[in-house]
A = this chain, B = another copy of it.
Amino acid sequence: MKLASLKGGRDGRLVVVSNDLAWFTEAHHIAPTLQAALDHWEGCEPALRGLAESLEHGAVPRERFHEHQAASPLPRAYQWADGSAYVNHVALVRQARAADMPDSFWTDPLMYQGGSDGFLSPRDPIPLSDPAWGLDLEGEIAVIVGDVAQGATREQGLAAVRLVMLCNDVSLRNLIPGELAKGFGFFQSKPACAFSPVAVTTDALPGWKDGRLSGALSVELNGKALGEADAGVDMTFDFGTLIAHAARTRTLSAGSIIGSGTVSNRGPDGGPGKAVADGGVGYSCLAELRTVETLTGGAAKTPFLAAGDTLRIEMRDARRHSIFGAIEQVVAGS
């Protein structure tokens, strides 16, 4: 089942989208918003699934689905907790900052509490007031969970996964070192992020297995491939483990979003791997590419994002059909 929130009001308007992303049908008679459906999932899920089936059969009124009319599936959420499950990425970015990485990072998930009071729509421009902030994209996988009890196990965490999305976790790289040095984590360095036009249940994702989503995450910058890393590879912590980590000392409420962190694959030699142009799977963020440039050439060559740059984040199935729709954003200067 695929769900989306068409733009309108602070929370959008819940619709069911066809598997091929061509059509939608209104779902407001079941729940006005995705958050409302998540709040009452046991009652809403069967009705939404019935509607999805009717949509596939052409048995309900339908309209063309246009990705640019979609907000993020949850235009605002009560929680956005982003992990760093691809530890390879963390190791690389730290290497570039000349910051040590403790061995415990391979066994104890990193996670930060992100802002969730308003997400960009998947086709919204990314506002950038100051180019010196060092704007970067980060291609990620994210899940929306139902209610999770405090102390939940990995298996209970996995059972709570309701929907899967793609994410562009927008980062202001040049604000990060100063902010992390203060010891309280990210705040100004993580402005609003964006999610894919469509959120998908795990049963509709052939690549979903054991809390990981296999498949190449296509990340393009100005029409050129930046990354094609497989989201199912080198994910040190699966989503069940991330959810259990988040719920260790507190409950998680329905509609909480848990992120994977930047998708990142090692090269065949265990190193950072090559750029797409050089035959590798590339990188899901500029920081990683710049790190590799620094490690291999002595200095970063690729600049951070500037006004007018466009990015696209998408995942396609075996037949090259878009699964979640595309996050496609232009950087807008002020």
Could you list which residues of chain A lie within 8 angstroms of chain B, going by C-beta atoms?
10, 39, 76-79, 81, 84, 99, 102, 104-105, 108, 110-118, 127, 129, 133, 150-151, 172, 175, 180-189, 191-192, 245-246, 248-253, 255-256
Contact assessment for A113 and B110 in the assembled complex, using a CB-CB cutoff below 8 Å: no
* Least distance between A247 CB and chain B CB atoms (Å): 9
Q: Which residue of B is nearest A250, CB measured?
A: B191
Closest residue of B by beta carbon distance from A111: B187
A117 touches B255 (CB 8 A): yes
Contact A117/B252 with A77-B78, A112-B185, A180-B183 known, Cβ cut-off 8 Å: yes
**What are the residues of chain B within 8 A of A10 when measuring CB–CB?**
39, 253
Main secondary structure of the interface of A (DSSP, over half): loop
How many copies of this chain does the complex contain? 2
- A249–B39 touching, CB < 8 Å: no
User: A39 to chain B: which residues have CB within 8 Å?
Assistant: 10
Q: Which 5 A-B pairs have the closest CB atoms?
A: A185-B185, A78-B117, A117-B253, A79-B117, A191-B250
A183 to chain B, nearest CB (A): 5
Q: In the bound complex, what is the Cα–Cα distance between A129 and B249 (angstroms)? A: 8
A-B contact pairs, 19 of them (CB 8 A): A10-B253, A78-B78, A78-B116, A79-B117, A84-B184, A99-B183, A111-B184, A112-B113, A113-B113, A115-B250, A117-B252, A117-B253, A117-B256, A133-B249, A180-B183, A180-B184, A185-B185, A188-B249, A191-B249
On whether the beta carbons of A110 and B182 are closer than 8 Å, the reply is yes
A84 closest partner in B (C-beta):
B184
Min C-beta distance of A72 to chain B, whole Å: 13
> Per a CB cutoff under 8 Å, which of B113, B127, B252 touches A185?
B113
Please determine whether B117 and A184 come into contact, CB atoms closer than 8 angstroms: no
